[in-house]
Amino acid sequence: MKKIFVTGGAGYIGSHVVKALGERGLEVLTYDNLSTGHAEAVLHGQLVTGDLADRALLRKTLSEYHPDAVIHFAAHIEVAESVANPLKYYRNNTLNALNLWEVLRELRLSNVIFSSTAAVYGIPQDNPVTEETALAPINPYGASKMMSERLLADLAAAEKGFDYVALRYFNVAGADPQGRIGQKYRNATHLITRALKTAKGEYDRLQIFGTDYATPDGICIRDYIHVDDLAAAHLAALDHLAGGCGSDIFNCGYGHGYSVREVVDVARRVTGVDFCVEEAPRRAGDPPALVADSGRLRAATGWKPRHDDLEFIVRTAWEWERQLA
């Protein structure tokens, strides 16, 4: 595996994976429409500015580049927006993924790593969640991702030699410890980024969405994974495919859940700012608790987290956030 094609490589997670691929000495081509990504975030390799819906450009780029593996990040990612505008999500996350799978099949390319999500599980009966847990997404974002994953699984079953790894990310956070890249959206909705922007004074308060969930403090629980540990999981998935281990699905998280209030406490401590927090109604589409069992990823690939520390995650995100204009 020497040449890697990355869709969405100018985005938050994609850019950290492109960085990791570059550090490993691999050749990378990023394909991104820059709708939420940034050209300067692509620290390594070539960038082609293009949309997944532009099948002719996608086909031309892939047939000229002829990669050994494809990592597919490009998608829309906001749960609440997907509830308000579901078709936008099915178009970009499912139909455009289908476009990509079709082009890969036409060109006889294999070895796909797909960005899936914990949102495919919906409201799991038990936490931590294993890959065997039934898929029952409760919002269009999760459903759009579940369908693209299913398309891949069906394709792999039908086409001998077509292999994929679906990585189901839990809540990804933090930034490059050297401060070169991080999360940079026009309208940030993610908890940690939103809390840090509030500490910075961009918002006058942070709202806690929902205080009446069936969790110990009534507040939502999530499993936050540092983006560089997630990037390392992609390299582990590449090795898995290169080793001929076949297709697989892996949860990516640390296995500990933190409530929104615990995240707020860490954000206040790290920033030194006692920013204002207000209790607010539930946000549509939010499951109460999602915590990963990543035992399968560890056992199959040897992946081990290096930054399993909420304070480190928040600190790297804060160092990134405070230098943004």
Ligand X SMILES: NC(=O)c1ccc[n+]([C@@H]2O[C@H](COP(=O)([O-])OP(=O)(O)OC[C@H]3O[C@@H](n4cnc5c(N)ncnc54)[C@H](O)[C@@H]3O)[C@@H](O)[C@H]2O)c1
Q: Is 266 in the site for ligand UPG (CB under 6 A)?
A: no
Min dist CB 51 to ligand X, Å, is 4
Min dist CB 301 to ligand X, Å, is 18
Q: Which residues bind ligand X (CB under 6 A)?
A: 7-8, 10-14, 32-37, 51-53, 73-75, 77, 92, 96, 115, 117, 169, 171-172
Q: Is 208 in the site for ligand UPG (CB under 6 A)?
A: yes
CA atoms within 13 Å, Cβ hemisphere of 250: 29
User: Could you say which residues in the range 179-198 bind ligand UPG, by CB under 6 A?
Assistant: 189-191, 194
**Is there a contact between 161 and 110 (Cβ–Cβ < 8 Å)?**
yes
141 a catalytic residue: yes
Site for ligand UPG (CB under 6 A): which residue of 26, 77, 231, 277? 77
Please classify residue 245 by burial: count the beta carbons closer than 10 Å to its beta carbon, then call 0-12 exposed, 13-18 middle and 19+ buried: middle
Q: Is 283 in the site for ligand UPG (CB under 6 A)?
A: yes
95 conformational bin, left if phi > 0, alpha if psi -120 to 50, beta if neither: alpha
Percentages helix, strand, coil for the chain, rounded to the nearest 5? 40, 20, 40
Site string for ligand UPG, 143-182 (x = CB under 6 A): ---------------------------xx-----------
User: Which residue is closest to ligand UPG by CB?
Assistant: 220
Site for ligand UPG (CB under 6 A): which residue of 260, 267, 270, 291? 260
**Is there a contact between 139 and 285 (Cβ–Cβ < 8 Å)?**
yes
Site for ligand UPG (CB under 6 A): which residue of 220, 249, 270, 297? 220
Torsion from C-alpha of 259, 261, 264, 265, nearest 10 degrees: -100
48's CB contacts (< 8 A; 6+ apart) are: 29, 30, 31, 32, 57, 61
Q: Please, which residue, 148 or 171, has the CB nearer to ligand UPG?
A: 171
Min dist CB 221 to ligand X, Å, is 15
State how far Cα 37 lies from the chain centre: 13
Backbone φ and ψ for 239, nearest 5 degrees, come out as: -60, -35
- Quick one: tokens of 299? 């056992």
Catalytic residues: 141
Residues at the interface with ligand UPG (CB under 6 A): 77, 79, 117-119, 170-171, 189-191, 194, 206-209, 220, 222, 260, 283, 286, 290
